[in-house]
Structures are given as C-alpha cells and as structure tokens.
Structure 1
C-alpha cells in the first residue's frame, strides 16, 4: 500500500489516502495526462511554468561577475601597503584634496599608454574621485548652478541612474534628452535645443531688465545665481552628459567627427561635456572567427572627448575648457573599491578638488586608492585587463549574441544597425547585425550590454514584468532609459515646442557581465518563449 498526502491528489480535506499499486499507476497516468492538458486553469499553467523555471536568470544587473575580481593582485597590493608602516600610515590618514600624487602620476601614465594622445597626459590634469557616480555629483556641485545653468542635455537612451543625480542637483525640470543616430549623440538636434534655450533666456533677461542681463552676459557673478563666485569655480550655462564609447544601454561608439562637432558646440554655448568613460578598456573583436587571428586591442578605438578638447583648434577655450572625462575602476577591479578619476584642464581638476567634501575629508577612498596605485605601478591591472577581462567578456558577449541569434532573431528581434555596424553570420547560420565600432582594421565590440529591438507591437515594460513573473527572467525594459524630467504639464512638453525623445518601449537591454555564462542560452530561450506567447495573444 502507498500513502499519499492530500496535496498530491489535490484533495480539499487534509488527510492521508492509502491506495494499492494499481491505483497508484492509474493516478500517475492521470497526472501525466493532466500535466499536458491544454485545459489547465491559467493559475495552474502559471504555477507549472514557475516550477519549470525555478532558477532565476538575471540579465539586468550591470555588475562584473565575482569570478572576474582581481583578488590575488589586490591581496598582494594590500599586503605591500599594510606591511610597510610608512605606506600604511599615509593610506590610513586623510589624503590630499586632489588625491595621492603617485597615484595621479600612475593613472596619467596608464591613460597615455592606452589613448596615445599627441603628448602624454600630465598628472596635473588628473584628480582622484570616489567613482563615476560620486564624481558626477561633485562636478555638478562645483560647475553648475540650479538657477544659472539653463539645462542638462542627456544622450537618449541614457544611463538611467544618472537622472537621480541631476535631480538632486536641482535640475529635475530642466533635463532634456537628445537622440542618438548612427554616429552617436545627434549634434544637430542638440544645437536646435541649445538655441531654443538661449532664446528663452534672452527673453527672460529682457523681462528682468538690462542691468541684470549685462552682468550675466559678461559672465560676472550673476545676480540670478545661487552659488557665490570662487576663483577655482566656473559656472557653465549648460551641461551635456554622454557615454560616448560602448554607451549604456545602446552600446554605440560616438565617431571622432561627432566628438569634434560636440566640442565646438560646447564652446559656442558655454557648456561642460561630462563624458562617462567607464567601458573604454573593455573591447574585443566583434566576430568570433577573429579570436584566433587577432590579439585583443590594447589601444582605444577613438580619442576621448577630453582629448579632443585638449587639442582641437589650438586647444581649450579658456582655462577650464569644455570637457571632463569621468573615469572609474568599478568595471575593471570591482564597484566596491569606489575609486575613480577625472581628467580635464589643470584649472578644472583643481576646482573639482576644492569641492566641500574633499576639502573636509580629503581625497575620496584614500585607503583603497593606495592598493590601486600598486596595481598600476606593477602593471598588474593592465595584465588583468588583457588576460582576464577582455577574453572573458569577449566570450560572454559572443555566447549571448549567439543565443540571441538562435532564439530571438527568428522572432523578429534585432540589434540596432548603422554604418559603423557590421553583419555577422553565427554558428547556427543566422544573419544578424551587431553593434560594433571599426578601428580601421576590424570591427570592435565592447562594454557590458546588448540593446535589442523588439518586434512591432510588443511593449518592453510589459515584457520585462511578465519575464520576471512567468519565466523568472530579469531583463531591463527600454523605457527605463528614457530621460525622465519633472516639469509643467505632462512632463513631456514645457511649452517651448521641445519634445523629449521616444520612450524606448520597443527595446530591451541584456547584460552579459553579471550572470553565469552557462545560463545565457536558457535566458534567451525563456525570453523567446515569452515573446511567442505575447505575439499569439496579440494575434488572438
């Protein structure tokens, strides 16, 4: 006799039922027939899917996988610092406002080697920061004013968490999105927006009176500014925010021509370009068959915007310039280290070092930064990037791309195309376009993400919600990356005729950096399964 609990037989009365072997076989057949029945209730069908998809797959999180952390190198660096009383005392005390001088020198040497500017980067152009996010807030504290600075112009789609930082700085009503085209941020659209903003400002100055307008136009201490004038501070009329290389989320690389146009535009309209240069070192051949033929690239695919500002048309306009490079070790070592750097003119980085938090507490993350100095001085970080990160991310990228081509491309999913992008035929024979930059020899891919265009009729926000509920799959809806601003009316039209870019409901972002690589195939299959169901529902 076999004892079966009431839950196994779906009985409503709590009890144990005793049955013989023949009855047990009969029940098993009934259960199998029921399992494959098309007449199951929706709740039962959902429960069945969840049982089949117990393992969560996270293709949303933009963190490095823990296996890619340089633990041995960090351990050696920490031992070298802590075993030396002189070094450990310096590490555990307040650091200089602009950071440890030897670390700044090592970063300057490392950047010069990677970007190959016409002349080496001097340490005077480097300031140590607490990472890209913390430094974005500090840049706004020093170089913008919520009353004087007219607008923040953000590339769209944009890094979604940057919006909150701009909100905190007082720009919630003045965020504006600027679309990308095949070469990156659309400079023509940006110039139209800048000109409209200036026209509104001129009208406002006329209303306030010539006495105030003259002060503002001469860039003296403006009566309408909130912050006092300082010798190390410049307030910019506009802020431009972009991730020009392997952008998050679109993965696009802004062309050199477009970077030059952007710098000239910033000089014309008194704007500071804040360039998040956090993915530049993570690059590899865009096509699998190139792996064995070429080495992983060890030079940047294109000059940074801050380098363009340094040399274009004779050099920067004014002592502060119009561009700052916002760098971070979070993607190269680990986000917990909380160390980054800023590069700009010597005047700009000195002004940044005078932000109140650094004047009070010294350079951010002084203790951790001494470990990074050791990694740079010994070339351990460069070795880690070349031997661990580039091969690992390259393999992850191609594994996820192949899974997308196999499961999603036949359903009408695609990656955005453009003149700089190439077409690849993968191992399963599916032709698909992949976002890549041409460095003159071969197509280069990089970063953390794939940016997928959905078939017409599907909404990314609905798809992402159902993916988590029905497939235990976490993905990023494209709508997450729209430029969100709080303003009059519906938040889209402020009465000026400006419209924010699309809401990106036709896109989803997948990350190949965090999740285990062996789950990519199953993740793409789950997303494909969900898309099929949604397409069938739409047809019905």
Structure 2
C-alpha cells in the first residue's frame, strides 16, 4: 500500500521590508557635504610649500596660525552687532525678550579679532575632553551641570573625566529649561546646595580663590581648576531646538562668575540659521514647484551674543589670580581666565570627517588650553585639515557653501518636517506640541506656543525638532513607540529618555518626548517618516483602549529599539 504523500505547506507570502528611515541620526546628508570645495582647497594647500610644510609637521600648540588669524576675523564679523539695530535690516529682528537689541544691549558685546583668544581643536567633542583634562579635577570640581534635555553623548565625556555616577551621589546634575532656556533659579539653588554640602563635608569654609585643598592635578601657572562646570548649547540646542534668550545668557554668566563655574558652550549651530514663517512651516510640500514664492531671506550675522562675548565684556572676576601692582596691563590680562569657553566646530559646516574645530575664550584660558599634555606632545590637533579649512575660509568657498547650500536646504527640510508634524501629530486626536521651533521670533514679540495661527516670522536653525505628548493623553511612552516604530515600520526616532542626564534622570524626565533630525534624510523620507510614526501611535492607542499596558517606560538598555545605547553610531 502506497502511503499518502504529504502536501508541502503553502509558501508564505514574502513581504518586502520597508526602506529604513532614520530620524534619529544627527548627521548632515551626504548630498550636503562640500566635496568639491574641499578637493579644491586641498589641492591649493598641498601645492604650496609655504602651506603644506607646516601643515604636515606637528604645528604650534594653539594650532595652525593662518587659520587662527582667519577664524578670528570671520567670527568677529559674524558676532559684531551694529549700534543700534535697524529694524529693517534683514539680519536683525526688532526687540523682543529674546534679543533685547534696543538700547545698545548687544553692541557692547562685540569684540575685535584676536587670534590669542583661539585654539584649534580636533572638533567639539575632543575639545570638551581637553577642557576637562586641563581645567577640572574630580577631587576639587564639585559638579557638572547639564541643561536638560541634554546632548546625551556629552555625558560619557564627563564620566570619563571622573564625574560618573558611582552610586555615592551623581556628579552630573540636570538643569531643566523653559521657553527662554536654562532655569537659572533651579541652577542657583543647586549650586548653593552643592557648595553647602561640599563645605560641610570638608568641615571648613573655603577661603577665596579656587583649587584650594588637595587635588589630583597641578594646574601650574597657566591654568586653574574650576569649582563647577555648566554645559549647554545656547543656540538651536541639541536636542530641544531652543535658543537661550539674552537675559538668560547674561544671567548664566553672572551665576558662573559668582560660583566659580566654567560654562562650556557648544556653539556649533550658530551659523546655521534661517528665517521662516508660519505659512512656510505649514504649507511646504515635497512637490512644491520652483515657481513658489521664495522663502524669507536668512540672517548672515548672529542675532544674539555668545556667552563668551558677555564674559569677555565683564573682564576679570574675583576668582582670577590677583595681579601685582607692578604688573603691566598685558601681564595683568594674562591672569584673567574667564568663566566661559565657546566650543566651535566645522563638523556641521564642512563635514564631521574634517575633524577640526576651535575654542574661543580669554587669552589666558586659550594658552592654558594649548598646554594640555596630549596637545603639547602630539602637536596641534587637525594640523593638516586646518590648512584646508583655512583655504576654504580665504577663498570664500565655506561661506558660499553655508549660504548657498546648507541654509536653503535645512530651511526647506525643517519646514517640511514641521508641516508633517503639524498635520500628523499636532492635529487631533494626538495633540502633540512642537517645542522650541519658534523660540527666536523676528517680529510681534514672542510667538504663541499653541497651534500655528496668525502669520509670524521667526528664526530657527540647527538640526533638530523636539515634540512633546501629554502624559495624560493615553499615548504610550516614547521608548515603547520607538521600539514599535523600528519593528513595524523600520523607522528610527529619538525617544526622550535618551536625552536625560545620566545619573540624574529624576530631575528632568522626558518619557513622552521625541527628537527628530531633519539634516540626514531626504525631503520625501522626512514626511514619510512622520506618517509612519503617526500610524504606529494610532495602532498603539487603539491597543491601549483594549487594556494593553506599556511596561518599558523606563528605557532600560534600549533593547535594540529606536535609539538604544547600542546604536550610538546612528545618533550624534
């Protein structure tokens, strides 16, 4: 008897996996990298012995001098404010509580070029590590204060410098922000509390100066050890997109000078700014024709002074080493370390792989920075690429790339992303709120924080948009949404808990917030990514109505979801 032949199971229908859309990665798109300009600058640099001979050597401690000279002029021009501002100027908005540029408030913070204030670095992240090597000591520096939500990849840099949470009390402290930026009241209370605890545990009141007591490091005559470090991104912040108001900038510098704190400012997005308006932000589509009305022009100068400009204007503080009465003015100024360092980078302007940045500070601080041991031994960071960047500055190619390529592209991408968010996430039933995207308004004062309404012109910049959901709305936590987005839609987003300060998460939680980057993906994918996200949230809300409970609210180790720690190379 012939046994019955078994029938093969029906073939499963294969479903094509969707193209991945990554709204988490904070990189510039490949199409926006200035390869041609870099090639031209490289050819010029490597064809001239006067350039390539010093460029291929170790270089002076502060960095390649022609770049420092060109950069000092470039930065001074960008951060020089006319007096008074002209309301009709395309680069200057009329007064608001964010800029207060009447009564000459900004022009007093302009400074002439001075290469002595600059050092060339290997980029903003390497620069922070060098600052911590030279100007902090875990035995003497009491705390590191980070504006929250924070650029989370800065946390490991501070941890590596000895400020990790060891279980005996975190050294990284979160400081929340409101619509104007950092919460100065919260910060001041925290500074006073930590100082009180420190002095009580030491059993004595410290007398004047800084660096008293025993520490691990000898700052020598060229550096000092600060009691506190404050880390922030004042303009178009990563991740919130917010811009700190002038009043908050001035107040933060005053607090730093009162408590012997060093403010480390990542000023990496300042040159990427553009004008927009509510019409552009809600009507732009990927199919908009070239005949559409042109978007508003972009400012070509900074709208607000940097914190370092404010600090330089104020001069020496009581924590600077005293100078003798016989000191000349130049030697006296050499004792002024200041309380702010501006940390800049060409990564967002010419490409992250260029690995070249700068710091600007007082000349004394800059000299101390240049004496970091690894710099003195290994030579000036990015010496060869510094020659290439200097050629791009001298030729005008860098400015042309910023004004002709980067700002128009980011202006349009930002408008597309915000329009999609307004349509898919802000509109009922989800009711999300977009934070920070109109924090620097160009007319009619400060924009309403609600849904887009009357025509308002505002300034935005950087790479990121921050979105918040009402925790009581029934919408699941952002981490759970991110996991489902990756699993079901091949979409990566930045859940808010990723941007909590390591070791002090409880002080500022963001479990119902998300960060979106508009710099990496193409225009159509930005819109489709938001549409995919809305579909996932809609499905999860319906499941919640059936009694499902979302348990992964704590974030954990990331679990391979929309931005766990294992995906660090995708973030930035």
Range of TM-score over shorter length:
0.7 to 0.9
Change in CA separation of 1:202 and 1:533 when aligned onto 2, cut-off 3 Å:
same
Rounded Cα–Cα distance in structure 1 between residues aligned with 2:346 and 2:65: 18
Q: Distance in 2 between matches of 1:364 and 1:335?
A: 15
TM-score normalised according to structure 2 size: 0.78
Q: Provide closer, same or farther for how the CA distance between residues 9 and 358 of structure 1 changes in structure 2, counting only shifts above 3 A.
A: closer
Deviations 1:348-385 (A, max 9, x none): 01000000110001110101110000011112111110
- Give 1:480's match in structure 2, choosing from 487, 490, 498: 498
RMSD of aligned alpha carbons: 2.4
- Residue 140 of structure 1: aligned partner: 132
Instruction: State TM-score, norm by structure 1.
Output: 0.82
Alpha carbons of structure 1 residues 114 and 185: separation in structure 2 relative to 1, 3 Å: same
1:128-277 superposed matches below 5 A: 128-172=120-164, 173-206=170-203, 216-219=206-209, 222-277=212-267
Q: Secondary structure at the match of 2:147?
A: strand
Q: Tell me what 1:505 maps to.
A: 511
Alpha carbons 1:108, 1:122 under 8 Å: kept: yes
1:38 counterpart residue number: none
1:468 corresponds to which residue?
486
Call closer, same or farther: CA 1:421–1:221 in 2, change over 3 Å.
closer
Q: CA deviation at 1:8?
A: 5.3
- Asked if the contact 2:124/2:343 (under 8 Å) is kept, the reply is yes
Which piece of structure 1 moves more, 276-285 or 84-93? 84-93
1:362 to 363, 379, 385: 379
Output the CA distance in 1 between the equivalents of 2:262 and 2:440.
29
Deviation string 1:170-218 (CA, Å, 9 cap, x unpaired) is 0013000000011100011000000001111221222xxx5xx5xx534
The Cα of 1:293 is off from its aligned counterpart by 6.4
Alignment gaps of 5+ in structure 2: 1-6, 81-108, 165-169, 281-292, 321-335, 444-449, 547-572
Whether the 8 Å contact between 2:120 and 2:359 is mirrored in structure 1 is yes
Distance in 1 (alpha carbons) for counterparts of 2:437 and 2:195: 32
Cα shift at 1:417: 6.2
Deviation at 1:119, TM superposition (A): 2.8
506, 510, 528: which one pairs with 2:534?
Answer: 528
- The answer for unaligned runs of 5 or more in structure 1 is 11-30, 32-46, 425-430, 486-490, 493-499
Question: SS in structure 2 opposite 1:347?
Answer: helix
Contact 1:132 1:327 in 2 (8 A): yes
What is the CA–CA distance in structure 2 between the aligned matches of 1:311 and 1:421, rounded to whole Å?
24
Q: Which residue of 2 aligns with 1:113?
A: 77
User: Could you tell me how far 1:292 is from its partner in structure 2?
Assistant: 3.0
Alpha-carbon distance, 1:105 to partner = 0.7
1:55 aligned to 2:19?
yes
Secondary structure, in 3 states, of the residue corresponding to 2:177?
A: strand
The separation in 2 between residues aligned to 1:246 and 1:122, in whole angstroms, is: 26
- Aligned partner of 2:434 in structure 1 is 415
- Counterpart in the other structure of 1:389: 406
Q: Is the 8 A contact 2:55 2:387 kept in 1?
A: yes
For residues 493 and 184 of structure 2, the distance between their equivalents in structure 1, rounded to whole angstroms, comes to 30
Q: Secondary structure at the match of 2:225?
A: coil
Q: Which has the higher contact order (CA 8 A, sep 6+)?
A: 2
Deviation at 1:461, TM superposition (A): 0.8
Distance verdict in 2 for CA 1:271–1:221, change over 3 Å: closer
Q: Check if 1:514 corresponds to 2:520.
A: yes
Residues 483, 433 of structure 1: alpha-carbon distance in 2 compared, 3 angstrom cutoff: farther
- Contact map agreement 1:136 1:165 (CA 8 A) in 2: yes
User: CA deviation digits over 1:287-336, x for unaligned, max 9?
Assistant: 26577364211011211000011114x56553000000000000001000
Task: Return the alpha-carbon distance in structure 2 between the equivalents of residues 138 and 229 of structure 1.
Answer: 13
SS at match of 1:177: strand
| Structure with the larger helix share | 1
Structure 2 Cα separation of the partners of residues 399 and 419 of structure 1? 15
Distance of aligned partners of 1:316 and 1:282 in 2 relative to their CA distance in 1, 3 Å threshold = farther
Contact kept? 1:108, 1:121, Cα under 8 Å: yes
Change (3 A) 1:220 1:525: closer
Shift of 1:471: 0.8
Q: Is the 8 A contact 1:65 1:515 kept in 2?
A: yes
1:90-128 Cα distance to aligned partner (Å, 9 max, x none): 111111110011110111111011111533131110100
Q: How many residues align?
A: 467
Give CA-to-partner distance per residue, 1:37-86, whole Å, 9 cap, x none: xxxxxxxxxx86xx4x5211011000000111111111111000111233
Instruction: For residue 434 of structure 2, give the secondary structure of its aligned residue in structure 1.
Output: coil
Indicate which of 329, 351, 371 corresponds to 2:346. 329
Give the direction of change, closer, same or farther, for the CA distance of 1:151–1:288 in structure 2 (3 Å limit).
same
2:462 is aligned, of 428, 444, 447, to 447
CA distance in 2, matches of 1:201, 1:221: 13
Distance 2:140 2:382 in 1: 31
Name the larger-Rg structure.
1
Identify if the C-alpha distance between structure 1 residues 390 and 288 changes in structure 2 by more than 3 Å, giving closer, same or farther. farther
